[in-house]
A and B are shown apart, each in its own frame.
Chain A
Amino acid sequence: MLSLLKKNKWWGDNMKEFNPKLTIGIFSALVGILFASQVKMNIQMVTPVTINSIQRLELEIKSLRTEVEDLKLNIEDKQNYLTLIEDSNHSEKNIISVLEDERDKNMLLAGFKTVEGPGVEIVMFDNINSDELSFDFNDGIIHDVDMQNILNDLRVAGAEAISINGERVLSFSDIKCAGPVIRVNGRSLGTPFIITAIGDPKLLMASVSAPGTYAEMLTKVYGIGIQPYTKDKLVIPAYSGDFSYSYAKTVQ
């Protein structure tokens, strides 16, 4: 090899006499080495990484983490329930109490039991200041949208039970506002509308009065009357409508 190099006078007296072919050859070898080590890394496609994609990935991770946490809690619950049932399988009496507890728990969560607890009571009425000439008449009235937003905000603040004028509001409750009357669960109720919500009183209060909330906007901009009060003990009745499943069936 050395004789070959000497023969081709790779390093001549002058820089310009480097044998071109060998130089190219040697550097090609370098490229080859780099290339091989790159291939050995077993990389998948290198996509252009934008800050956007990083943020999106972080969001996805957060969501997935929440879902995993929820699943773990659910599994724990089910595990406990399973142990209860397994224990009770030996005596018939016990399975009944286990089932009764399960039914009661679900009744409570589904909204079919009267509940009491701390929370807020919100009195809502339309804008009564009719001497505001610049007002569009429609603006001062409570609309469906307003009610839905306030209920949504209450749920964000963790409301465990909500009722409007004594009607329990559940996920399938229909709420229709028409002037001085509101229809909830098929019953017509009159103004003023009293929304009761049980939960953390501070959070619930903030969700309807803190600056920047929907309720605050309604009072400041449209003059709609919204008066929230925190209370230590509120009673919310069970769902009184008649709801039954005609179309939905459980997946076996």
Chain B
Amino acid sequence: MVYALIGILIGVLIGFLLPFTYNSAYTLYVSVAILACMDSIFGGIRANLEGKFDATIFVSGFIGNAILAAFLAYIGDRLGVPLYYAAIFTFGNRLFDNFAKIRRIITSKKKN
């Protein structure tokens, strides 16, 4: 889990320094994708703590969920319906879910 934190910090630094931007119209979609990615990360951390980490599932989930979430937000925008709410609720929910599981595992490990 510490690795995740370090990773994020390094990524943020690189992101700020890199002159990498994209069309501001897409910010909505990227935000939703970020949420999906965070959910994957939390899921990965939990799986790792449970000892059930599978890289294929992690990577495919990371990339797949991100793309699907962004796509859903895009389609929703084209259709005039805020479909990104679906992504927000789902990933938000799972994020907190995974976080709860992580906490339980860590505290139970500490007990032993």
Which residues of A pack against B, CB within 8 Å?
15-16, 18, 20-41, 43, 46, 48-51
Contacts and interface: CB of A to CB of B under 8 A. Distances in A.
Given A37-B22, A51-B80, A30 B11 contact: yes
23 contacts: A16-B56, A18-B55, A20-B48, A20-B58, A24-B1, A24-B4, A24-B41, A24-B44, A24-B58, A25-B4, A28-B5, A28-B8, A29-B7, A29-B8, A31-B8, A32-B12, A34-B11, A34-B30, A34-B33, A37-B21, A38-B31, A38-B34, A41-B24
B7 A32 contact: yes
Contacts of A23: 44, 53, 55, 58-59
Contacts of A34: 11, 15, 30, 33-34, 37
Interface string B54-75: 1110110010000000000000
Contacts, number: 125
Interface of B: 1, 3-16, 18, 20-22, 24, 27-28, 30-31, 33-34, 37-38, 40-41, 44-45, 47-48, 53-56, 58-59, 62, 77, 80, 82
Closest 9 CB pairs of A and B: A32-B11, A36-B15, A28-B7, A29-B11, A18-B55, A25-B7, A25-B3, A33-B15, A20-B53
B18 A33 contact: yes
A28 B41 contact: yes
Contacts of B9: 32
Contacts of A37: 15, 18, 20-22, 30
